[in-house]
Amino acid sequence: MHNTAAPFVEKATEQIATHCPYCALQCGMLLSGPRDQVTVEGNEHFPVNNGSLCVKGWNAAELLNHPDRLRTPLLRDAQGGLVPASWEDALAHVAAAIQTTQKRYGRDAVGVFGSGSLTNEKAYLLGKFARVALGTSNIDYNGRYCMSSAAAASQAAFGLDRGLPFPLEDIPHAEVILLIGSNIAETMPPLMQYFEAQRQNGGKLIVIDPRASVTTRAAHLHLRLTPGSDAALAHGLLHILVREGLIDKAYIAERTEDFEQVKGRVASYWPELVERATGVPEGLFTQAAHLLGRARSAMILTARGSEQQSQGVSNTLAYINVALALGLPGRIYSGFGSITGQGNGQGGREHGQKADQLPGYRKISDPGARQHIAEVWGIDESELPGPGKSAYELLEGLGQEGGVRTLLVVGSNIVVSSPNALHIQERLKALDCLVVSDLFLSETAQLADVVLPSAQWAEEEGTMTNLEGRVIRRRRAFAPPPEVKTDVEMLCQLAELLGKGRYFAYGEPHQVFEELGRASARGSADYAGMSYEKIEARNGVFWPCPGEEHSGTPRLFQQTFHTPSGRARFHPVRHQSPAEVPDEEYPLYLTTGRVLAQYQSGTQTRRVARLRELAPAPFVEIHPTTARHYGLVQGACVRLTTRRGSICGTVKITSDIREDTLFVPFHWGGKDAVNRLTNPVLDSTSRMPEFKVCAVRIERASASSKT
């Protein structure tokens, strides 16, 4: 019933400069024309994409008048169906469920699950809502599945986490770039212009990836490692650099600490051992080490391939060790960084929707941080809850004793994006009440007791923080449909019903941003000196920006690191095998990733005609030799099985994948959801699940098994 409304047509009164709704590049785009015939142009004046867009960006406007769009709240009726309701009834139902749950089970029995796609204003407000309106410690978000390992490693080594501590414009000037676990040619195509410029300047790109992806075709070297062996390869690189005197001893002495411990650790990683552990020929990684060690400028960039593992923090720290030994962080046209994935993956983790954080990237367990935020919010510090459960741990305990019984999900499709997804689906069904705010009836929203329709990217004002730490303006081109609210409006009205309205009296998003600035002041991620006007005038402002006269900080660590000593820290991490390795029952590795024409859980992109045409369904990449061993041909239907479940898929035979590995993209839901198979074992520090490595078996299946 929610799809029967007539199209809501409105015309933009002028050409509006805003930003793409997808990845962390946050490409600038220009919108004009009526809602049902929006013209999209790349913004040549925005210095990140310089007018370029990928196929997702060019087709983003199709979502604005999509027939599947949620246009009214939905409530589950006595017959089990979702039926239209008024906002008054829907929010009253939510408020009553929250109050009943907390009266019966305590404050922490209500939880909040946020998203890396939310604006800074919404991410900030969601964290405040959880801690002030609900008084719960249980808030986390899907960014835990994206950047948590890189964030934890950067905090440990540098005392600060900003995905890229330098602007993208520095990339073309790097003599050598080592890129680990990222297929940016498909996931962030406009970013490739910087790597192409680096190549034209005579630079070399080295890619570490189990797959020969589209990105590896632009590489000077491709190191095709065994899944889960990242730290061993990093140790092997550093072993060669130390052995052959290619490290920067002066930098190590002046700007770092604890190198000798790492030097001792990597001494035993002889090239022969590393070759056996990683599957990468000694000659290749020796050549890579020489290129890095002899370069006048170099960058080391990690991404999800090495980070989404139960050893994700150790993997990242191992590559940071290489960067520090070479003296890269803080040098011009050099450094270490991690490529943020989600649209506001950076800003989303800075301002309070993570279980252990308060705004400004403050620790919720820090007394000084708690006192500062309490003063900004006008509450007593004792009213602030402590750290809550991480994303998967929160979801795993849903409906159980001591766990969350009522859950508010804002902008996240956790049934598709979580590991061990069938188990998470069952836990969601065990809730007393599930509330979902989204644009479309996602797989998660289909399970909800209350569905709240939210405004989308071109219908709201706010800010986003891209992968460089550049805070940019999201500008509204159209008003939301009549019965659709922004999440800011929804949270403020719900807080009012819970008796906390005085803490959420905002008329416009800029008022939320101004309070965010005060809350973040003097924190690691300091936005205090920013305003909408300043951001717009400068095409974005890099944090930290601590005062009105401050112009922002494009490059970090040039003088000091954000540690107590001012020095970066080496960490003597150990390489450990993944939680699952192939055996007789499950003889292959399974790894997952993205494709060009889809994005994240596919809630938006699977509804765009052009993107469905380019990527209509998932597939199973398998090496020709492995396919012959199992008697499989191109297009055959196969069943993949892990210790958590089975899915069926279509064979894609390609030499791009290792013989011991299968690759499946994760953008589809239901019976096509590969995260039904992935391993939920967590990194001990970041609590990141091991999405990228598990043991799997493959067998023929009938075509009917896919339906």
Per-residue pLDDT of 235-255, as tens digits, reads 999 999 999 999 999 999 999
- Res 14: pLDDT: 79
Compute the mean pLDDT over every residue in the chain, rounded to the nearest whole number: 96
Give the CATH number of domain 16-65. Answer: 3.30.200.210
Query: What's the whole-model pTM score?
Result: 0.95
Taking residues 355-360, report their average pLDDT.
96
pLDDT band at residue 341, thresholds of 50, 70 and 90?
confident
Q: Residue 632: what pLDDT?
A: 97
Per-residue model confidence (pLDDT) at position 11: 59
Tokens describing residue 292: 């890095």
In the chain, the percentage of residues whose pLDDT exceeds 70 is 97
**Bridge partner list, 646:** 641
| Collapsed DSSP state (helix, strand, coil) of residue 326 | coil
Chain segment 500-555, per-residue pLDDT in tens: 999 999 999 999 999 999 999 999 999 999 999 999 999 999 999 999 999 999 99
User: What pLDDT band is residue 4 in, cutting at 50, 70 and 90?
Assistant: very low
pLDDT tens across 6-48, in order?
Answer: 445 565 557 999 999 999 999 999 999 999 899 999 999 999 9
Contact 527, 520 (CB under 8 A): yes
Q: Alpha-carbon Rg of the chain, whole angstroms?
A: 24
**Integer distance in angstroms from the first to the last C-alpha of the chain?**
25
Q: Using CA atoms, how far apart are residues 349 and 124, in angstroms rounded to an integer?
A: 9
Matching residue, tokens 């590969």: 674
CATH node for 74-145+344-458+481-508: 3.40.50.740
Q: Note whether 422 and 676 are within 8 A (CB).
A: yes
Helix or strand holding residue 98 (H, E): helix 87-105
Look at residue 1 and tell me whether its pLDDT is greater than 50: no
Per-residue pLDDT band at 3 (split at 50, 70, 90): very low
Task: Give pLDDT tens digits for 270-289.
Answer: 999 999 999 999 999 999 99
For the segment 465-472, the average pLDDT, to the nearest whole number, is 97
Let me know: does 309 contact 683? Beta carbons within 8 Å: yes
Q: What is the pLDDT of residue 18?
A: 96
The residues spanned by each domain of the chain are 16-65, 74-145+344-458+481-508, 150-338, 588-706
- Each residue of 408-452: pLDDT tens digit? 999 999 999 999 999 999 999 999 999 999 999 999 999 999 999
Q: For residue 5, is pLDDT > 80? A: no
* Residue 2 pLDDT class (50, 70, 90 cuts): very low
- The amino acid that residue 657 corresponds to is I
pLDDT digits (tens, 9 = 90+) for 637-656: 999 999 999 999 999 999 99
Q: What is the distance between the alpha carbons of residues 154 and 336, in angstroms, rounded to a whole number?
A: 9
User: What is the predicted pLDDT for the residue at 380?
Assistant: 97
CATH number given to 588-706: 2.40.40.20
* Strands, E assignment, 101-230: 110-114, 139-141, 176-180, 204-208, 221-223
572-629 tens-digit pLDDT: 999 999 999 999 999 999 999 999 999 999 999 999 999 999 999 999 999 999 999 9
Give the residue with greater pLDDT, 5 vs 310. 310
What does the pLDDT average to over 172-178? 98
Look at the block and give the residue holding tokens 């490692």: 225
Instruction: Report the alpha-carbon distance of residue 461 to residue 664 in Å, rounded.
Output: 36
Return the SS3 of 138.
coil
Q: The domain at 150-338 falls in which architecture?
A: 3-Layer(aba) Sandwich (3.40)
Q: Name residue 157's amino acid.
A: A
Report the distance separating Cα 191 and Cα 64, nearest Å.
Answer: 25
Task: Compute the distance between CA of residue 310 and CA of residue 319 in angstroms, rounded to an integer.
Answer: 16
Q: What confidence score (pLDDT) does residue 13 get? A: 59
What pLDDT score was predicted for residue 10? 63
